[in-house]
Amino acid sequence: MFELNSKMNDERIEEIGENHIATSAKNPLRADAFDISDEEKIEKIQESVKDILQTLGMDLEDDSLQGTPKRVAKAFINEMFMGLNPANKPKASTFNNNYNYGEMLVEKNIVLYSTCEHHLLPIIGRAHVAYISNGKVIGLSKMNRIVEYFSKRPQVQERLTMQVVQAMQEALGTQDVACVIDARHLCVNSRGIKDIESSTVTSEFGGKFKEKETRKEFLQYLQMDTQF
């Protein structure tokens, strides 16, 4: 019975991994995720990376590889997955809309680097975020930082798109927020099917953006040639 359950679980894991199924709208974190410090995590990850490289047969005495376990561990904690730690969440400063701008504001082509949580391979693309003010506005760079924060996690693109919208809605106190992400997944481009041309597009529309005309206006802005 144990072997049967184990086999079924392995098949389920493989199915999820190949089809990029998101199991939750929140990143799956354990309750004790932050019981140890970042420094302790770096030390533990360093040893794990060392074990992986040694298992692969790499010579860690070679000058080129000696520092690799530590470099990878620091990159995981301080860069690639820094968005897992709530302490790194950007302060989404908002201001009163004193100039009464009542139209759509769109921040296009926000460069996005994330990591597929199924194979730990890069997701590279662009996010397009828009909102309609109901009395508050947010600094433009804060929109980029929100995208960056939620990107820097083991991610699923659908979840990332939703998280960006939810964070903007919370900061601005309005449902009128939208996000479209167009990205390449290296787990598709460089392994498996190895389709180097395909990209994945996801969207999340809240409030007025669910209305056909508002959504159409937003998508038309994305088609504008704004290269300078």
Q: Which of 46, 107, 116, 128 is catalytic?
A: 116
Catalytic, out of 107, 119, 128, 204: 119
pLDDT at res. 8:
55
Q: Check 107, 118, 128, 148 and give the catalytic one.
A: 118
Q: What is the pLDDT along the chain (228 residues), one digit of tens a residue?
A: 556 555 555 665 565 555 656 567 799 999 999 999 999 999 999 999 999 999 999 999 999 999 999 999 999 999 999 999 999 999 988 999 998 999 999 999 999 999 999 999 999 999 999 999 999 999 999 999 999 999 999 999 999 999 999 999 999 999 999 999 999 999 988 988 888 889 999 999 999 999 999 999 999 999 988 766
For the chain, what is the mean pLDDT?
A: 92
Q: Is residue 158 annotated as part of the catalytic site, yes or no?
A: no
pLDDT of residue 202: 98
Is residue 119 among the annotated active site residues?
yes
Annotated catalytic residue: which of 163, 166, 187, 204?
187
Q: What is the pLDDT of residues 97-137, one digit of tens each?
A: 998 999 999 999 999 999 999 999 999 999 999 999 999 99
User: What's the confidence (pLDDT) of residue 34?
Assistant: 95
Instruction: Indicate the CATH number for domain 92-222.
Output: 3.30.1130.10
Query: So what's the pLDDT on residue 4?
Result: 55
Show me where the domains of the chain are located.
36-80, 92-222
Which residues are paired to 181 by β-bridges? 127, 202
Structure confidence at residue 196 (pLDDT): 87
Residue 12, pLDDT score? 59
**Catalytic status, residue 185:** yes
Percentage of the chain modeled with pLDDT above 90: 80
Q: DSSP string of the chain? A: -HHHHHHHHHHHHHHHHHHT----SS----TTTTSS-HHHHHHHHHHHHHHHHHHTT--TTSTTTTTHHHHHHHHIIIIITGGGSGGG-----EEE-TT---SEEEEEEEEEEEEETTT--EEEEEEEEEEE-SSEEE-HHHHHHHHHHHHSSEE-HHHHHHHHHHHHHHHHT-S-EEEEEEEEEHHHHSSTT--SS--EEEEEE-GGGGSHHHHHHHHHHHTS----
Q: Is 118 one of the catalytic residues? A: yes
The pLDDT value recorded for residue 19 is 61
**Active-site hit among 157, 166, 179, 204:** 157
CATH fold, domain 36-80, is GTP Cyclohydrolase I; Chain A, domain 1 (1.10.286)
Give the pLDDT confidence of 31-49 residue by residue, as tens digits: 999 999 999 999 999 999 9
Annotated active-site residue 187? The verdict is yes
